[in-house]
């Protein structure tokens, strides 16, 4: 619920049309869903029993590269996440230094 209340309190979230990162990505450990929050992204484990406890906020650093800003959730604070293989306006892969996820939705 913390994330939901935090999102509701944000008044200056800008909608970005044709944003290329939102979707669900899969790796050998499971699925991860990414959604746009203005210029930032939020990711959470699709199979988590309680996604509210398994989410991370990522801020843009450079083109197609974001940094994890959360102490909880997936990855370490400051870890870079890259989106690659942009086809038809959508990233087909998401990766960090350890793993690559492939878009499934």
- Is residue 25 within 8 Å of residue 103, measured between CB atoms? yes
pLDDT of residue 41: 92
- Is residue 99 within 8 Å of residue 81, measured between CB atoms? no
What's the pLDDT tens digit per position in 75-105?
Answer: 678 899 999 999 999 999 999 888 999 999 9
Question: Quick one: fold of 2-103?
Answer: Lipocalin (2.40.128)
In the chain, the percentage of residues whose pLDDT exceeds 70 is: 80
């Amino acid at each position: 619920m913390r994330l939901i209340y935090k999102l509701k309190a944000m008044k200056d979230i800008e909608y970005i049309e044709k944003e290329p990162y939102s979707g669900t990505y899969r790796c050998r450990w499971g699925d991860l869903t990414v959604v746009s929050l203005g210029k930032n992204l939020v990711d959470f484990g699709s199979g988590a029993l309680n996604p509210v406890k398994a989410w991370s906020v990522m801020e843009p650093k450079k083109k197609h590269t974001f940094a994890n800003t959360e102490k909880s959730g997936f990855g370490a604070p400051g870890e870079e996440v890259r989106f690659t293989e942009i086809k038809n306006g959508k990233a087909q892969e998401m990766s960090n230094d350890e793993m690559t996820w492939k878009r499934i939705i």
